[in-house]
Amino acid sequence: GHDINVAAMTVSPDSRYIATSAADGSIIIWSGTASPQTFIVEIQCPAGIQRVTSLSFSDNSDFLAATGGSYVLIWRVSDGSRIFSFEGRPEKLSCTWRRDNLNHATLSVGPGSTVWSLSVSPLRSFLLVCLGDQTVPVLVRASSFKAPSCWSDVDPTAYTFLHGHTAPVLATCISPCERYIATASEDKTVRLWSSKDGSLTWTFSDHIEKATHVAFSPDGKTLASADADGRVCLYPMTRFVKNVLQLRGSSADGF
């Protein structure tokens, strides 16, 4: 086990795994069912993390997220490979996973309120990262297993930046077919993007206050948005894009 005191612990939703972290930055994923107790994966956090303060399994137990200092990291539980890391503000962070009715797994991070969120696409072919005070969401391809510590110098083939909003993005969502991304912003617009190349497909300017929520219907045929004034807008996707497909199959090269 650990050679120093345990700083955080969590149990996976299906009780298959237990994760513990120590003050030296080490994390162990244990079997929750084996007897005697055995560990499955041992992970060492980057040198900048001396103490992990929060651990959280995704609801299907596929991923383990951790926060320590200003870092946020995500590992794949099956082999301990790190699929995402980011260094943000120097503040105490905590993380929680949730899953919406479109089967999107989202990690929300923040001190009390959401600082930023990370969503796994339905077929696990990309991650969508939205920093709470930024205007540019970032799409991270599954071919890249580690996000940069700074977005200013990255491999353009692995990361796609959604440029267009002029104020912080408050909400994001991914269509069930993974072809489209929708974002809602304080600039009072809702924007529709192509996940293939990050190009802007459409800008909706029907809100008179900041757009706070956005969501696709389960069949992907309708996009809904809401603003701070209580106004809700519905957009039939077939009016704005040529192809709207429901989620089918699974990704062979995803996370």
- What single string gives the DSSP state of each residue in 82-102? EEEEEE--SS--EEEEEE-TT
Query: What topology is assigned to 121-250 in CATH?
Result: Methylamine Dehydrogenase; Chain H (2.130.10)
Phi, psi of 142 (to 5 degrees): -65, -20
pLDDT given at position 151:
42
Handedness of CA 142, 147, 152, 155 (dihedral sign): negative
Nearest-angstrom CA–CA distance, 35 and 51: 29
CATH number of the structural domain 1-90: 2.40.10
Query: Residue 25: is its pLDDT beyond 90?
Result: no
What are the pLDDT digits (tens) for 143-189?
554 444 444 444 545 678 899 999 989 888 899 888 999 999 999 99
116 confidence band (pLDDT: 50, 70, 90): low
* Among 32, 52, 34, residue whose Cα is nearest residue 43: 52
CA atoms within 13 A of residue 56's CA, in its CB half-sphere: 21
Instruction: Report the Cα–Cα distance between both ends of the chain, in Å, rounded.
Output: 28
Query: Residue 113: is its pLDDT beyond 70?
Result: no
Amino acid letter, residue 177: C
* Among 194, 193, 216, residue whose Cα is nearest residue 203: 193
Query: Residue 14: is its pLDDT beyond 80?
Result: yes
More confident residue, 36 or 243: 36
pLDDT given at position 208:
94
Tokens for 79? 């082999």
pLDDT given at position 1:
77
100 confidence band (pLDDT: 50, 70, 90): low
Tokens for 170? 């408050």
* Residue 165 · residue 183 · CB < 8 Å: yes
Task: Compute the average pLDDT of residues 29-42.
Answer: 84
Query: Residue 244: is its pLDDT beyond 90?
Result: no
194 confidence band (pLDDT: 50, 70, 90): very high
CA 13 → CA 8, 18, 64, 110, 207, distances in Å? 16, 10, 11, 21, 39
* Mean pLDDT rounded to a whole number for the chain: 79
Query: Residue 212: is its pLDDT beyond 80?
Result: yes
CA atoms within 13 A of residue 161's CA, in its CB half-sphere: 13
Residue 1 neighbours by CB under 8 Å, 6+ apart: 20, 28, 39
Report pTM.
0.70
28-32, 85-89, 146-150, 241-245: least confidently modelled range: 146-150
Domains in the chain: boundaries = 1-90, 121-250
* Among 88, 168, 196, residue whose Cα is nearest residue 183: 168
Tell me the range of 51-55, 66-70, 130-134, 183-187 where mean pLDDT is highest: 183-187
Residue linked to tokens 């969501």: 215
